[in-house]
Amino acid sequence: MNASSSRSVLLVISGSIAACKSPDILRLLKMADIQTRCVLTQGGAKFVTPSTLQTLSDSPVAMDLFPSHETESTMQHITLARWADLVLVCPASAHLLARMAHGLADDLASTLLLATTAPIIAVPAMNTHMWEHPATQHNVTTLKQRGVHIVPPAYGFMACGETGFGRMPEPSVIVDEVLTFFRTQKQKTGPLAGVKVLVTAGPTHEPLDPIRYIANRSSGKQGYAIAEAFADQGALVTLVSGPVTIPPPAGVRVILCETARDMHKAVMTTCPYDIAICTAAVADWRPETQENQKIKKPDTPKTNTSAPYSLTLVENPDILAELSHPSPLRPRLVIGFAAETENLIPHAQAKLHRKGCDWLIANDVSPAHQVMGGDHNKIFLLSRHDNKIEAWDTLPKTDIACRLVHHVLTCESAWRSSSK
Ligand code: CTP
């Protein structure tokens, strides 16, 4: 299940060596559940084949303004221009940028770029001197003034052997621009427009000394997926994350932190929120003292058995319990997670009432289930107000996230109609 499958991007690929990266862009757009179609210029076709693009976009690649086959429409420039929610010109060669700036319509790509009323993102990629040439810079300024969003080229080593600005940014950076565009649009029109959502995610690290810490195996994947799913429906999402290896999601405010106390501070200083989802595996305790220098082993002769080293731990603030506490600032919906390794439901029920949140999502994180660090999850959703327990099938974490958002939307509309 994905709530955002109606988004469509028309990828216009022009003649730059960076066109060879367009299959990666199509793959990432597909993974984000965005429909794609491709227009390939004659120059673009020197660097990537139509059949590769057709395979990845699941549709024929358009190349000609006046197709040779009678079955193909001569109005493709209009149908494609109307089909797209967004036109992504990537890579945008110096020549295509110039034709766009001057309103030329001498091939399919340039003609549909005149015909479309959809927003346009252009990603220039070319040799540094071509990029810095006053003619190109003038064309880029003209296009920006007309509302075309330009993703500036990156700095680095280029295929021509020079180093400088002109490289196409990595495909993930370009796809993040596309996702940010759609999420920003949804913040005006989506079902959760104007709703402030907090997601905590990942583990916390509790330092012992400058190089050691106490941590847990949380990857942050479930929390990050939930943050993205809420953003896809137009919510203003703040993701407060412990140390993870996942890149920050597009169109989401991300606050990175290390310890439970950092996470607590980040949450409390950014309140209030309408909805809070605490997925973070917050360390319950931290070492009472953090040494300024590396803790050394006692200098005892090897023959002696050294004495055990003991740590004193003190309790960390409980973010979920504090958010759930009745107060004028309490989010209207507080959702916690229960990571358990035994007696899942009884422990989760006790936790739900102890913390005072509205819903608790219980999952079994025993190593055998491979939930921590894995891509799938099996959850039970417990509701405090009606004592209901829903068992969900094992699903990818991204699908759990979409289903959770759908559940929130369903409940919110029921609450709205019952309070009328
Ligand atoms: N939580 C929190 N702050 C803490 C500890 C936990 O916000 N200091 C939140 C987690 O984000 C999660 C829920 O509380 O939503 C339950 O976390 P879990 O680790 O399962 O439970 P604990 O409260 O730590 O209880 P226990 O360790 O006894 O299972």
Domains of the chain (ranges, CATH numbers): 8-177 (3.40.50.1950), 191-291+310-414 (3.40.50.10300)
CA distance 50 to 62: 9
DSSP code at position 298: P
Nearest to 27 by CA among 62, 54, 56: 56
Q: What is the mean pLDDT of residues 263-273?
A: 98
Q: Return the ligand 1 atom nearest residue 322 CA.
A: 7
pLDDT over 70 (residue 239) = yes
What is the maximal distance between C-alpha atoms in the chain?
91
Which residue's CA is the nearest one to ligand 1's atom 3? 318
Place of tokens 């607590």: 264
pLDDT more than 90, % of the chain: 85
For 233-386, where are the alpha helices, taking DSSP H only?
A: 260-268, 319-324, 344-355
In contact, 115 and 81? CB cutoff 8 Å? yes
- C-beta of 337 in contact with ligand 1 (< 6 A): yes
Quote the pLDDT of residue 82: 92
Quote the pLDDT of residue 284: 97
Q: How far is the CA of 255 from the centre of ligand 1 (A)?
A: 20
Query: What residues form DSSP beta bridges with 167?
Result: 154
- C-beta of 200 in contact with ligand 1 (< 6 A): yes
Q: What is the mean pLDDT of residues 246-266?
A: 98
- C-beta of 206 in contact with ligand 1 (< 6 A): no
Q: How far is the CA of 174 from the centre of ligand 1 (A)?
A: 36
Quote the pLDDT of residue 304: 60
- C-beta of 400 in contact with ligand 1 (< 6 A): no
Decide the pairing of beta strands 213-214 and 236-241. Answer: unpaired
Average pLDDT, the chain: 94
- C-beta of 282 in contact with ligand 1 (< 6 A): yes
Q: What is the mean pLDDT of residues 247-253?
A: 97
pLDDT more than 70, % of the chain: 95
Q: How far is the CA of 386 from the centre of ligand 1 (A)?
A: 22
CA distance 266 to 242: 11
Q: Return the ligand 1 atom nearest residue 284 CA.
A: 8
Quote the pLDDT of residue 3: 44
Given the residues 20, 38, 90, 160, the one annotated as active site: 160
Quote the pLDDT of residue 17: 95
Q: Return the ligand 1 atom nearest residue 320 CA.
A: 7
Quote the pLDDT of residue 261: 98
pLDDT over 90 (residue 66) = no
- C-beta of 122 in contact with ligand 1 (< 6 A): no
Q: What is the mean pLDDT of residues 296-305?
A: 69
Q: Return the ligand 1 atom nearest residue 335 CA.
A: 15
User: Residue 317 contacts by C-beta under 8 Å, 6 or more apart in sequence?
Assistant: 260, 261, 264
DSSP code at position 46: G
- C-beta of 338 in contact with ligand 1 (< 6 A): yes
Q: Return the ligand 1 atom nearest residue 360 CA.
A: 15
pLDDT over 50 (residue 242) = yes
Quote the pLDDT of residue 160: 84
> Which pLDDT tens digit goes with each residue over 126-167?
999 999 999 999 999 999 999 999 999 999 988 888 899 999
pLDDT over 60 (residue 190) = yes
Say how many CA atoms lie within 13 Å of 310 toward its Cβ: 2
Quote the pLDDT of residue 248: 96
Q: Is 239 helix (H, G, I), strand (E, B) or coil?
A: strand
Is 160 part of the annotated catalytic residue set?
A: yes
Nearest to 168 by CA among 160, 156, 179: 156
Q: How far is the CA of 233 from the centre of ligand 1 (A)?
A: 27
Q: How far is the CA of 282 from the centre of ligand 1 (A)?
A: 6
DSSP code at position 42: T
Q: CA 62, 66, 68 angle in degrees (round to 5)?
A: 85
Instruction: Pull the structure tokens for residue 302.
Output: 């090897």
Q: How far is the CA of 360 from the centre of ligand 1 (A)?
A: 11
Query: What stretch of H or E contains 395?
Result: strand 395-396
Ranges assigned E (strand) in 301-387 = 313-315, 333-340, 359-364, 376-377, 379-383
